[in-house]
Amino acid sequence: MSSLFSKQNKEIFSTPLGPNNPITIQVLGICSALAVTSKMEPAIVMGLSVAIITAFSNFVVSLIRKTIPNRIRIIVQLVVVATLVTIVSEILKAVAYDVSVQLSVYVGLIITNCILMGRLEAFAMSHAPWESFLDGLGNGIGYAKILIIVAFFRELLGSGTLLDFRIIPQAFYNMGYINNGLMLMPPMALIIIACIIWFQRSRNKDLQEK
Amino acid sequence: MNTNSNSYTIIYASVIVVIVAFALAFTSASLRPAQNKNIELDKMKQILHALNVDTKGQKADKVYAKYVTADQILNTEGKVIAQEGGFKINMAKEMHKPANERQLPLYVCNVDGQTKYVIPVSGSGLWGAIWGYIGLNDDKNTVYAVYFSDESETPGLGAEIASAHFQEEFPGKKVLKDNQIALGVEKYGKVTDPTYQVDGVSGGTITSKGVDAMIKNCMGQYNKFLTNK
């Protein structure tokens, strides 16, 4: 059992959270980061669903990696991902209907999330199942982390609420404060992500190019 | 084994497809009853929302049975053609039928001793379907409460039609003016007749117009019923 949580495996799990984050460093999964981050709640559920699906699709693909014919490997990976996404969305509809209604199309969009394909190609095709599982989980959580940070700023500044609770008091509005509607537009997500990348790079000298 | 040969690739692809098809068919079939039950419960919650009844923490079907006394079916002439079965009718499908074949669901409800009517409405917003339920007082002319929801409107903009602050504009508004449906949504800040109109969602103009058209189209079908005092 000790080898399951060796130092190397811990690193596989933890590097995507910071120094090798899928969004800010690998620049994967930007598309859905734009779409689901105007409110906190869908961002959280989306982040968790992606973490679960990356972990399990990495695991499954890694299990069958030696049998996959090279020429159709992308198609096989896509089939595995699409199957898992469909099963997750069906299960959500059966046990947590309210959440599935809120997420509506976003669950289906997980299939097109570049992080999934990126991690399958870059990691699961060449590593053992358990390492791949950790890598998928780490990347999914790293993705969720950025999504939640972006959604925090967009919802707070764009709607004045967090998780639909009013944060900015009515008195501010009476004094002439106006919600920044621009924050709800997709481009602002890119600008916030750019600010996060800037922040991360200025803190971490290793990431700066010469 | 040579995993790059043509025959291996074809057999591999076929086997994967068959396995996946079985896995998906099995999941879908085994979860179907639970999903249908959830969809029905959700519809009941939406109808109860248009009666200002909060279902939080309670079984929606029990609360529904307590408040909704009949799910009638009307025709466009305002005649009751069935006393029950309205719940099973899909309003969006009925709107695509010729006018004289439409079956219109009408929920007759009893809230604290007063009769209320709930009328389903459905239409389209900017990105996809929108729908709702309009609860009326027993004068068939005053809005009691409403419910709106959407499939894929923009969060924070068009999707605000599903928010409480938009829906709270409706109660107390009148429906009919000169026997026509006048209840509607105007562009934010452009309301000319506050007896009938409510402010749209700012930044969600197309969705707001969709709500307006949906109310006028669908409630227009019930015109004979509404004007028949």
- The whole-angstrom separation of Cα A59 and Cα A49 is 15
Query: In angstroms, rounded to a whole number, what is the distance separating the alpha carbons of residues A93 and A87?
Result: 10
3-state SS class at A20: coil
| Cα(B163)–Cα(A63) distance, integer angstroms | 46
What would the 3-class secondary structure string for chain A be? CHHHHCHHHHHHHHHHHCCCCCCCCCCCCHHHHHHCCCCHHHHHHHHHHHHHHHHHHHHHHHHCCCCCCHHHHHHHHHHHHHHHHHHHHHHHHHHCHHHHHHHCHHHHHHHHCHHHHHHHHHCHHHCCHHHHHHHHHHHHHHHHHHHHHHHHHHHHHHHCEECCEECCCHHHHHCCCCCCHHHHCHHHHHHHHHHHHHHHHHHCHHHCCC
- Work out the average pLDDT over B191-213: 90
> If pLDDT is split at 50, 70 and 90, which confidence band does A210 have?
low
DSSP letter for each residue of A90-116: HHHHHH-HHHHHHHTHHHHHGGG-HHH
pLDDT at A1: 43
pLDDT at B60: 81
**pLDDT of B23 above 60:** yes
Is A11 inside any structural domain? no
Task: Say whether pLDDT at B209 is over 90.
Answer: yes
Q: Is the residue at A7 inside a domain?
A: no
Report yes or no: A70 at the B interface, CB cutoff 8 Å: yes
Residues of chain A above pLDDT 90, percent? 13
pLDDT-derived band at A104, boundaries 50, 70, 90: low
| pLDDT tops 60 at residue B134 | yes
Instruction: Please check the confidence at residue B167 and state whether its pLDDT lies above 80.
Output: yes
Closest CA to A128 of A35, A2, A8, A29: A8
Contact B156 A158 (CB under 8 A): yes
Asked if B152's CB is within 8 angstroms of A79's CB, the reply is: no
**A11-28: average pLDDT:** 79
Distance CA A39, CA B180 (A): 39
Cβ distance of B3 and A67 shorter than 8 Å:
yes
**Does residue A75 form part of some domain?**
yes
| Contact of A42 with B156, CB cutoff 8 Å | no
Q: Are A84 and A60 in contact (CB under 8 A)?
A: yes
Residue A62 lies in a domain: yes
Q: Is A118 among the domain residues?
A: yes
Q: Is B203 on the interface with A (CB under 8 A)?
A: yes
Q: What pLDDT score was predicted for residue B26? A: 94
Q: Are B222 and B108 in contact (CB under 8 A)?
A: no
Nearest beta carbon to residue B155 from set A42, A72, A98: A42
The pLDDT tens digits for A114-159 are: 888 888 888 888 889 999 999 999 999 988 988 899 999 988 888 8
Q: What is the pLDDT of residues A85-97, one digit of tens each?
A: 998 888 888 887 8
Residue A162 lies in a domain: yes
Q: Residue B89 has what pLDDT?
A: 86
What domain range includes position A96?
16-203
Which range is least confidently modeled, A44-58, A170-184, B18-32? A170-184
What confidence tens digit (pLDDT) does each residue in B91-101 have?
888 888 888 88
Nearest CA in chain A to B34: A94
CA distance A79 to A69: 14
Q: Is residue A163 part of a domain?
A: yes
On the question of pLDDT at A2 being above 70, the answer is no
Distance from CA of B5 to the nearest CA of A (A): 8
Number of structural domains chain A divides into = 1
CB nearest to B151's CB, from A79, A104, A159: A104
A149 domain residue, yes or no? yes
CA B47 to chain centre: 8
Tell me the per-residue pLDDT of A41-83, one tens digit each, with 9 for 90 and over: 888 888 888 899 999 999 999 999 888 888 888 899 999 999 9
CB < 8 Å to A87, chain B: 23-24, 27
pLDDT tens-place string over residues A59-69: 999 999 888 88
State how far the Cα of B48 lies from the Cα of B68, in Å rounded to an integer.
8
pLDDT range class, residue A3, cuts 50, 70, 90: low
ipTM surpassing 0.85, yes or no?
Answer: no
Minimum-distance CB partner of B42 among A66, A97, A184:
A97
